[in-house]
Structure 1
């Protein structure tokens, strides 16, 4: 018949976190109800309730965490490990080992104070140590605390205890590249997906070796990336960066085939009680930029126009290929239908040799108010019978009144 092993020592683990404000559940009753004022008097006598604010859930006291809970990715996991001798005998040669097991690896966490066996532990005494680790993986984590010691009878004893905590994602980061001929733009959307406000300290873009970056965020805005600001739950803030390819220091020319790894975002925030967190994205990869054979550039376009008032757009059609085009202008309806073109479709533009360009003056009529998209322009090459479409080439604001909403 097997008997359970009774150990002399006991181990406990508690996450070291900032305290949270004490909350209560107030119960309000009418005067004619049976409890009468009993609940109100009980709340008034509660030392954790804010005086004069008995019907509010928020109290004046701070509460320490009693167990391992959730932690945000990028924060530092700190735990207090305590091995206590709750028997009346002396334990000898105590060795404490703490491992952190994730879904992909197992890490040994070393204490800053205890690295060697403790010769003995008297009754009612404790061994205490603090471990820290910056969490870099999502999902459930397992803290494995193992203790080995020698009993008064000289027996080698061993036991371990497991503590679970979950690492959750605090921020959702979405990125999008807008490539141009000699540069590109990076748009980053950072969303707070937690249930508590986060104080954003910095959101910086760190370019890779072949690139330089320029922060295009508003320097005068209180939400500037260099200043701290509050990001409420489910709120999203956008950042914009201009990225250029570096020039070679020896050849003084542009690097012809730079790496597709452009750089990474470095985000630093603090949670409600000041806990600091940091996230770094993986290397952002740009899509290969191919120069179109025909390039349409806008040279003149009004910012806003009154509805049902015809306006003109001036643009340039450039041949960037090594062959000639016999161009024909085709005008079709845009996708949203808010703007229609005025003129004759099928107009022949003539021969466009390599490296040359031709100016176009196109007229449109806005039929709907709001931010409208200009598109539906097609160029037909009569030599190859290939059609080049230009959709969503520009946006214009269409207002209803005869007076422009923009100051002159």
Structure 2
């Protein structure tokens, strides 16, 4: 997990808590590597370093059927779902009979650059701790949060519990509610960088009887181009790029979703680190649609530009991690 924020030294020494908190990020494993030994000039068999020696071993293929858990926190990317498990552990010694721990409760929130959001914990039922948390037992919850902003994020976790003192007659003598709070900081960075450019095309003329028997209306048309660059550490497969047009516009994708003349299916594009993918859309005003026309005319008259809509992108990482990104409103170039 990301490093915990240190407490102030001005707080002074405190009595140790009977409950500790462990935070572990939940992420998918990766395929482990094997490096076959050279087959020449060696006294050691070339298969000695392989996880699963086989006669069909390819010396140039270093991936194995084994998976490896991440050795560290790793990178957190905008567009992905951050997930971690919160574990409250009873740290009382096994021979400790003078105290018991009950009613353990965990509360978590995520502090982003723009807001503080309370997090839902899974499972939501807290019945397990009402009867007490025995020595060595753990109380675990899972939190998930969709990363939508770049920059520093702070996971704030508060733990509260009831510590009951047991008298010599094995009855509860007194009790107190104790609580502590820990902060874990990490940085969310972009996985895909998106750059867009729009170009105005010649308008399409259609008949409009509201302008007279021979009246014609001019429907605006634009070409929208977007460059997607993988700025992350690993490869991603772009599953979908979708233009969500703002009325009165409609969008037509000019990308791999188009039907090929030979009827074959297009493979989803794979972007390795620093690879760039260019996509394009034809955005044109819908014939006969009145919704949004008045706003469009006002924007063109006042600013000389229009809002085309938003671009949505979906991708998956090498081990199937889902990612989703939606841009802000995309504007046309200002008319000269």
User: Normalization by structure 2: what TM-score?
Assistant: 0.71
Unmatched 5+ stretches in structure 2 = 1-11, 94-98, 166-174, 204-220, 300-305
User: In structure 1, what is the equivalent of residue 23 of structure 2?
Assistant: 13
Aligned residues of 1:245 and 1:255 also touching (Cα < 8 A):
no
Change (3 A) 1:256 1:235: closer
User: In structure 1, what is the equivalent of residue 7 of structure 2?
Assistant: none
Distance 2:133 2:104 in 1: 8
The Cα shift of 1:284 comes to 0.2
User: In structure 1, what is the equivalent of residue 274 of structure 2?
Assistant: 234
The Cα shift of 1:256 comes to 6.5
Give 1:216's match in structure 2, choosing from 236, 254, 262. 254
* Aligned-partner SS, 2:70: coil
Distance 1:278 1:124 in 2: 40
* Aligned-partner SS, 2:297: coil
State yes or no: 1:107 paired with 2:137: no
State yes or no: 1:264 paired with 2:310: yes
Distance 1:274 1:250 in 2: 42
User: In structure 2, what is the equivalent of residue 377 of structure 1?
Assistant: none
Change (3 A) 1:127 1:162: same
Distance 1:57 1:256 in 2: 56
Aligned residues of 1:14 and 1:66 also touching (Cα < 8 A):
no
Change (3 A) 1:272 1:20: same
Unmatched 5+ stretches in structure 1 = 291-408
Distance 1:109 1:198 in 2: 28
Distance 1:93 1:116 in 2: 8
The Cα shift of 1:5 comes to 1.8
The Cα shift of 1:220 comes to 4.7
- Which has the larger Rg? 1
Aligned residues of 2:248 and 2:289 also touching (Cα < 8 A):
no
The Cα shift of 1:283 comes to 0.5
User: Normalization by structure 1: what TM-score?
Assistant: 0.60
State yes or no: 1:176 paired with 2:197: yes
The Cα shift of 1:50 comes to 4.2
State yes or no: 1:155 paired with 2:176: yes
Give 1:129's match in structure 2, choosing from 115, 136, 141. 141
Aligned positions, number: 279
* Aligned-partner SS, 2:121: coil
CA RMSD in angstroms comes to: 3.4
Change (3 A) 1:58 1:137: same
Change (3 A) 1:165 1:24: farther
Distance 2:30 2:223 in 1: 41
Distance 1:51 1:60 in 2: 12
State yes or no: 1:81 paired with 2:93: no
Change (3 A) 1:225 1:7: farther
* Aligned-partner SS, 2:148: coil
Change (3 A) 1:226 1:98: farther
**Deviation readout 1:26-73 (Å, 9 max, x if unpaired):** 888x979xxx85xx79x93x7x83426699754432122355331221
The Cα shift of 1:149 comes to 1.2
Aligned residues of 1:202 and 1:226 also touching (Cα < 8 A):
no
Q: How does 1:9-88 map to 2 (within 5 A)?
A: 9-23=19-33, 44=48, 49-51=51-53, 58-65=63-70, 67-88=72-93
**Deviation readout 1:244-272 (Å, 9 max, x if unpaired):** 12345469x99860652111111010000
**Deviation readout 1:89-121 (Å, 9 max, x if unpaired):** 421222211111222222111213236584221
Aligned residues of 1:80 and 1:128 also touching (Cα < 8 A):
yes
Distance 2:294 2:179 in 1: 64
Q: Which has the higher contact order (CA 8 A, sep 6+)?
A: 2
